[in-house]
């Protein structure tokens, strides 16, 4: 699935010393899909988009053995739109990840732009990879997938438990804590059972508000597939901190499962609902279906169907891994969507 390119060994540092080994892996995802959505008050849209199941990307991952159980690691990752060839973020060369770190028996310390633990965890809380039109958690949550200037620590697995802690520097002179980010996560994985919880908090630029997001849930492999339970709670009700209201939250719940029809084919279904804590009743609910078929270890076909219904003033819509929201219904409306896509790993 991934092509490793050996960069060779470094020179001898002194007589009789061993040669440190270094290698770089070039990897990527190309994911393109056809989508159809029909939204209340807006009509229907047919589109070709990038990143339905996973966001398209190309990356470089490297490690060097420093001896004594210590290693140097790095990762550079660029997102792009496979339907147009454009960059996902024209202002950054490596918009998805750009970090360097040291690892060993103590775990791993990373410095730079990194994925948030919530972004990594949501993909494990439903059979929709935390993406596609079918992932209710993805459609109604509003969280930041990655942050700049992050110091991160990832522990080794301890009897199935792995811990993560991150701090992102706001780099402001005043207020000192403006734009600072704090993230924690804990996961347990043993046999067929996975459990996880993650929480992130970022201060606003003026340090008078904290934007918070929490994911929790788990999965159980029953032999022919998995059962998933997912939960999200966040106060990021708008696109900018100024639009958020302290003490106002959305809580979302997702119950889903999949079934392996054959070694290549899997089908899944889910139901999700969201509650508005403000008392305005801007709730939402969704039913979802997904089917995947592996043409090989690298290439997969997928299709999804989703129907999302909003109540009162809610206006959630269907998104994807990129994410791309093509058709937002009028407040309190409904949106239906179908996807047909292909994803290739290299």
Of 270, 292, 258, residue with least CA distance to 31:
292
Q: Give 166-192 pLDDT, tens digit per residue.
A: 999 999 999 988 999 999 999 999 999
Residue 244, token pair as written in the block: 């958020």
Q: Binning pLDDT at 50, 70 and 90, where does residue 26 land?
A: very high
The answer on pLDDT for 69 being more than 50 is yes
Phi, psi of 326 (to 5 degrees): -90, -30
The answer on pLDDT for 307 being more than 50 is yes
DSSP state of 235: -
Q: Give 231-253 pLDDT, tens digit per residue.
A: 999 986 543 444 455 667 889 99
Q: Give 145-169 as a DSSP string.
A: SEEEEEEEEEPPPBTTEEEEEEEE-
d(CA 122, CA 206) in angstroms, rounded, equals 29
* Bigger pLDDT: 3 vs 162: 162
Torsion of CA 67, 23, 95, 321, to 10 degrees: -110
- CB-neighbour burial class of residue 213 (10 A; exposed 0-12, middle 13-18, buried 19+): buried
Domains of the chain: 3-9+19-345 (2.40.160.10)
- What's the pLDDT score for residue 333? 96
- What's the pLDDT score for residue 128? 98
- CB-neighbour burial class of residue 267 (10 A; exposed 0-12, middle 13-18, buried 19+): middle
Q: Give 145-171 pLDDT, tens digit per residue.
A: 999 999 999 999 999 999 999 999 999
The answer on pLDDT for 17 being more than 70 is no
d(CA 343, CA 149) in angstroms, rounded, equals 31
Q: Which of 1-5, 63-67, 226-230 has the lowest mean pLDDT?
A: 1-5
- What's the pLDDT score for residue 206? 86
Q: Which residues touch 54 (CB under 8 Å, ≥6 apart)? A: 29, 31, 129, 131, 321, 343
Q: Give 40-78 as a DSSP string.
A: TTTEEEEEEEE-SSS--EEEEEEEEEEETTEEEEEEEEE
Cβ atoms of residues 327 and 317 within 8 Å: yes
Provide the 10 A C-beta neighbour count for residue 211: 21
d(CA 342, CA 54) in angstroms, rounded, equals 10
- What's the pLDDT score for residue 248? 79
Q: Is the peptide bond before 28 cis (omega within 30 degrees of 0)?
A: no
Q: Binning pLDDT at 50, 70 and 90, where does residue 208 land?
A: confident
The answer on pLDDT for 221 being more than 70 is yes
3-state SS assignment for residue 187 = strand
Q: Binning pLDDT at 50, 70 and 90, where does residue 20 land?
A: low
Q: Which residues touch 134 (CB under 8 Å, ≥6 apart)? A: 126, 128, 268, 270, 288, 289, 290, 304, 305, 306
Q: Which of 187-201, 212-226, 311-325 has the lowest mean pLDDT?
A: 311-325
Q: Taking residues 250-276, what's their average pLDDT? A: 97
3-state SS assignment for residue 322 = coil
Q: Binning pLDDT at 50, 70 and 90, where does residue 6 land?
A: very low
DSSP state of 139: H
Q: Which residues touch 219 (CB under 8 Å, ≥6 apart)? A: 124, 125, 193, 194, 226, 227, 228, 229
- What's the pLDDT score for residue 245? 57
d(CA 147, CA 167) in angstroms, rounded, equals 9
The answer on pLDDT for 124 being more than 60 is yes
Q: Percentage of residues in the chain with pLDDT exceeding 70? A: 90
**Mean pLDDT, all residues of the chain:** 91
Q: Torsion-angle region of residue 252: left (phi > 0), alpha (psi -120 to 50) or beta? A: beta
d(CA 122, CA 134) in angstroms, rounded, equals 13
Cβ atoms of residues 106 and 131 within 8 Å: no
- What's the pLDDT score for residue 247? 66
d(CA 47, CA 285) in angstroms, rounded, equals 24
- What's the pLDDT score for residue 15? 34
- What's the pLDDT score for residue 141? 92
Q: Percentage of residues in the chain with pLDDT exceeding 90? A: 81
Of 40, 258, 46, residue with least CA distance to 134:
258
Q: Taking residues 195-221, what's their average pLDDT? A: 92
Q: Give 40-68 pLDDT, tens digit per residue.
A: 999 999 999 999 999 999 999 999 999 99
3-state SS assignment for residue 259 = strand
Q: Binning pLDDT at 50, 70 and 90, where does residue 1 land?
A: very low
């Amino acid at each position: 699935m991934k092509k490793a390119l050996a960069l060779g060994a470094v020179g001898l540092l002194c007589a009789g010393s061993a040669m440190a080994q270094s290698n770089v892996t070039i990897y990527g995802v190309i994911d393109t899909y056809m989508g159809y959505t029909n939204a209340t008050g807006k009509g229907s849209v047919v589109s070709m988009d990038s990143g339905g199941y996973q966001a398209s990307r190309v990356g470089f991952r490297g490690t060097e053995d420093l001896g004594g159980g210590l290693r140097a690691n790095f990762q550079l990752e660029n997102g792009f739109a496979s339907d147009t060839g454009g960059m996902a973020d024209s202002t950054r060369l490596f918009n998805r990840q750009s970090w360097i770190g040291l690892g060993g028996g103590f775990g791993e310390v990373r410095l730079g732009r990194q994925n948030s633990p919530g972004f990594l965890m949501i993909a494990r809380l439903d059979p929709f990879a935390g993406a596609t039109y079918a992932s209710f958690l993805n459609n109604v949550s509003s969280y930041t997938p990655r942050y700049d200037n992050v110091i991160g620590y990832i522990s080794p697995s301890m009897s199935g438990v792995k811990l993560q802690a991150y701090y992102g520097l706001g780099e402001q002179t005043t207020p000192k804590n403006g734009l600072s980010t704090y993230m924690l996560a804990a996961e347990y994985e043993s046999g067929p059972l996975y459990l996880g919880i993650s929480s992130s908090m970022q201060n606003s630029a003026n340090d008078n508000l904290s934007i918070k997001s929490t994911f929790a849930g788990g999965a159980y492999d029953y032999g022919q597939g998995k059962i998933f339970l997912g939960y999200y709670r966040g106060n990021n009700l708008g696109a900018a901190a100024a639009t958020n209201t302290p003490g106002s939250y959305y809580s979302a719940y997702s119950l889903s499962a999949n079934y392996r029809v054959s070694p290549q084919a899997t089908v899944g279904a889910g139901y999700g609902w969201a509650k508005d804590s403000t008392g305005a009743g801007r709730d939402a609910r969704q039913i979802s279906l997904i089917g995947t078929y592996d043409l090989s270890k690298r290439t997969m076909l997928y299709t999804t169907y989703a129907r999302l219904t909003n109540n009162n003033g809610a206006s959630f819509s269907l998104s994807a891994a990129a994410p791309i929201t093509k058709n937002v219904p009028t407040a309190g409306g409904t949106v239906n969507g179908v996807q047909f896509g292909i994803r290739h790993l290299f």
